[in-house]
Structure 1
Amino acid sequence: MKRIPFSIRWLKSIWAIVGAIGAGVLIGLYQPQFAERLVPYGNLYLSFLKMCVIPIMVTAIVSSVGRLFMSSGTSQVLRRMVTVFLAGLLLVGTLGLGAGSLGQPGEGFSASQRTVLGQEVLDREPAAESSEAASSGHGLLQFVFDLIPSNIFIALGQGDNLQILFFSVVVGIAVGLLSVHAGDQFLVMTDLLFRAFQRIISWGMYMLPLGMFCMMAGQIAGAGGDLLLAMVQYIVCIYSVCLLLLLLGVWIVSARMKLSFLRTLLGLKEPLCIAFGTQNSIATMPYVLETLRDRFRLNAHAVNLVVPLGIVLCRYSMVLTYTTGIVFIAQLYGVTLGLQGLLIALVGAILTAVAGAGSPGIVAISMIALIAEPLHLPYATGVILLMAVNPIIDPGVTTASIMLNCAATVMIAEPEDKGSLAGAQSLPYRDGTLQME
């Protein structure tokens, strides 16, 4: 096979990705009008990634669940998944509440900062009202009703990840309970489709720096410098927790895989940088799958099952946003949350994050009302400010969420030589670039 020239392979290197993110930040800050014109191109690249993600998610889950039910030890894997996912959600929620209580992001605003925040509330009020109306029907009961698609083709067309996930799990269980010969034939087809869409993602990697540049420039330009200065305390609070979670996640992977901290961080650099640049956990999924299977040599089918489930259901990013946000709102209105209030906020944040799986970002943020109402907190102004600052904090919380999903997968999945399920072929990394089949 003809070797790709280094000048082209360099586009898949970590330095090209980091450089594109940095250039996008600078353009967004100093050339906001030009940056806003780049938004459609960034959205176009994100749409390309999403086009490939849904088939990858379906084939990965169907294949992994099918093989899981064909093998022994199914209940042990499921128990481990529930335990690790729940522990991760509780950890993130506790850290979010602690950081909000210690950092006090809702206090100490100057007169000029309050003016900026007030103007931001007026500008975004119509959008907030529409998002609150869209989220008013969400809740745990509605979550159950939304889980089952009445028409899977409509769910696929609309990109409803939660319904697609449910459908894939059910099909995987059904295939796993078939006779071994019949089930294997179907799983061979799903593996083939999985690898085909991985190849498409590999082609798209050459355009990744350009896509990152356009998306990051648009995000920074849309946030605005005045709002950033006014909400700097809240932003620092969020990013402090994100950094802590990032370091904790790398340490867990390092300890589990018996690798040095630096080597582990370098091994995870591609999915983490892509998460920071795209601010989209779903779009990052193929890169997480590839990294954990091929660089860390984890059992392929376990990884293909745990990663999609974790990214769609365990929304660590929203748990962190809800817990810090509810403390911010309480401090903004001078309300003291006691121990009971903090426990309500913690449990409510986890349940709301899971119930809002698949909701658009702006709707998901407005669902903080489900936590604020039992605490008798006025939430309208706080929701608007959280929506306004979301483009600034989204890269950090998405990166932390992806890192925690990597750590959870490493804790659940066994290394390839120890797994009970059949593994996939390993692909090497060369020249500092991510080699996707």
Structure 2
Amino acid sequence: MKQILSSFGNLCLSPWAILVSIIIGTMIGVYQKELASQLAPFGEIFLSLIQMCVLPILITSVVSGLGRLLSAGEARHYVGKLILIIFAGLLMASIVGVFVGVLIQPGGTLDQNAQAVIGQQVFSNESTTESDSAESESMGLLGFIKQIIPTNIIHSISQEQTLSVLFFAICLGIAIGRQKGRNQDTLAFMDSLYDAFISIIEAIMYALPFGLLCLFAAQIASVGTEILTATFKLIAVIYAVALTLLISYSIIIWLRVGGSYFKSILALKDMLVIAMGTASSLAALPSALKGLERGLNRDKNTIDLIVPLGVPLNPPGSVFYFAVATIFLAQLYAVPLGAEQYIIIVLGSVLAGMASAGAPGVAAVSMIAIILVPLNLPVSVAVILLIAIDPIVDPILTAVNMHANCATAALVADEAEGKNTKSAEKGS
């Protein structure tokens, strides 16, 4: 029986089964929109099952990883290196976005039909987004910090406020880690909970092909072909650069880990598929942890801390997106940009990308106001355009964010052999 279940699991998670399910889902979304709407609830159920375990995994992994690193006195060794790698990666993503936008001019050569479609899209949706963009503009740095600190952690978990939950987990992990000699039972309990939720996720993955089919069908059906055609050049640029970034991160992981290049790809294939299929970094988090720890043999304590931290703090895909979208908008309105404006875009995109990682829905894309306000570009137009193309570009950007996160973790974390505290405890 166990062998049958294992064979079934391998079949469900095989690249061919996943590819076929994505193709079928896409075809249904294009040609059978009514069927796609009927399948949508099943995709939402699949996604909900994954998300049910994600925040508990985030809390237990951060508390356990940070607690053990502090107990062993190793946390300082990673902090400076981690900050440097994340900042350098985000800055590079922003510079790439500006460079590609200036070089390819995605908003400078639109024909009249494309401009008319964009204008109609803006006019029909302007009233529904003005309040959201205005709220994001007025929130400010202090308001953003205030939102991170939870007044009620149970409420923050129920509302999926990732940054607030992460802040709580960091505080708890530090507090437990500082109780040297009295924290081993607590950390062992956290490890046990973490393993239990990972087991639940592994069981849910048997439904991955069907879940992806339903999600892709609903997603493709919801995208309007008119706005897709009007912004085709921008979307094509985003996908081309995103795929280049994914290949680059794969090479970084391979060079750091060693062995076969294809082994490094296969270890994280589930993470990439889930990230693209669900467009959710949190949903892909368990697969990322599993791939790095089991597939690439990275130190569990370090990975359990760095990967969940990177979900809100290391989103190079979003940073690139904001940079190239700002260039697109400036070209659309024929606004000349000088050296000072480019510096604002580069630095503002980093801040907007990090701020958007913890914000839901319209509020996330509204973070582009951080860049646009100093440039005197219309925020409401940008928000409407980003919302319109979001279902198309969000999957690949989510995959970029998570793969960059895994590359960062692989660079910082050592090989597990002889370094995994948990494994050492089990062996003693």
**TM-score grouping bracket, smaller chain normalisation:** over 0.9
Residue type at the aligned position of 2:195: R
Using the TM superposition, name which of 362-371 and 298-307 deviates more.
Answer: 362-371
More helix by share: 2
Tell me how many residue pairs correspond in the alignment.
425
Deviations 1:32-55 (A, max 9, x none): 232233222212221111110000
> Where does residue 110 of structure 2 map in the other structure?
109
Residue type at the aligned position of 1:35: A
Deviations 1:133-167 (A, max 9, x none): 44234332222111211111111111111011010
The 2-side partners of 1:417 and 1:8 are apart by 28
Residue type at the aligned position of 1:101: V
Using the TM superposition, name which of 214-223 and 187-196 deviates more.
Answer: 214-223
Residue type at the aligned position of 1:403: H
> Where does residue 66 of structure 2 map in the other structure?
65
> Where does residue 303 of structure 1 map in the other structure?
303
> Where does residue 179 of structure 1 map in the other structure?
180
> Where does residue 288 of structure 1 map in the other structure?
288
Return closer, same or farther for 1:423/1:89 CA change in 2, 3 Å cut-off: farther
Of all paired residues, the percent bearing the same amino acid is: 37
Residue type at the aligned position of 2:397: V
Residue type at the aligned position of 2:218: G
Residue type at the aligned position of 2:334: G
Could you tell me whether the CA contact under 8 Å between 2:85 and 2:408 is conserved in 1?
yes
Could you tell me whether the CA contact under 8 Å between 2:418 and 2:424 is conserved in 1?
no
Could you tell me whether the CA contact under 8 Å between 2:268 and 2:287 is conserved in 1?
no
Using the TM superposition, name which of 151-160 and 59-68 deviates more.
Answer: 151-160
Deviations 1:114-133 (A, max 9, x none): 22222222332233224214
Return closer, same or farther for 1:137/1:42 CA change in 2, 3 Å cut-off: farther
The 2-side partners of 1:293 and 1:79 are apart by 22
Unaligned runs of 5+ in 2: none
Residue type at the aligned position of 1:346: V
After TM superposition, the score normalised by the length of structure 1 is 0.93
The 2-side partners of 1:359 and 1:272 are apart by 22
1:315-330 mapped onto 2 (5 Å cutoff):
315-330=315-330
The 2-side partners of 1:424 and 1:249 are apart by 31
Using the TM superposition, name which of 124-133 and 391-400 deviates more.
Answer: 124-133
Question: Are residue 338 (structure 1) and residue 338 (structure 2) matched?
Answer: yes
Deviation at 1:8, TM superposition (A): 5.3
Using the TM superposition, name which of 137-146 and 163-172 deviates more.
Answer: 137-146
Using the TM superposition, name which of 72-81 and 190-199 deviates more.
Answer: 72-81
The 2-side partners of 1:285 and 1:172 are apart by 19
> Where does residue 254 of structure 1 map in the other structure?
254
Question: Are residue 362 (structure 1) and residue 362 (structure 2) matched?
Answer: yes
Runs (4+) of structure 1 moved beyond 6 Å?
Answer: none
DSSP 3-state at the match of 1:259: coil
> Where does residue 22 of structure 1 map in the other structure?
23
Deviation at 1:383, TM superposition (A): 2.1
Could you tell me whether the CA contact under 8 Å between 2:355 and 2:367 is conserved in 1?
no
1:1-400 mapped onto 2 (5 Å cutoff):
2-5=2-5, 6-7=7-8, 9-180=10-181, 182-400=182-400
Residue type at the aligned position of 1:286: P
Could you tell me whether the CA contact under 8 Å between 1:138 and 1:356 is conserved in 2?
no
Deviations 1:162-186 (A, max 9, x none): 0110100111111111132x20010
DSSP 3-state at the match of 1:109: coil
Could you tell me whether the CA contact under 8 Å between 1:116 and 1:227 is conserved in 2?
yes
Residue type at the aligned position of 2:410: V
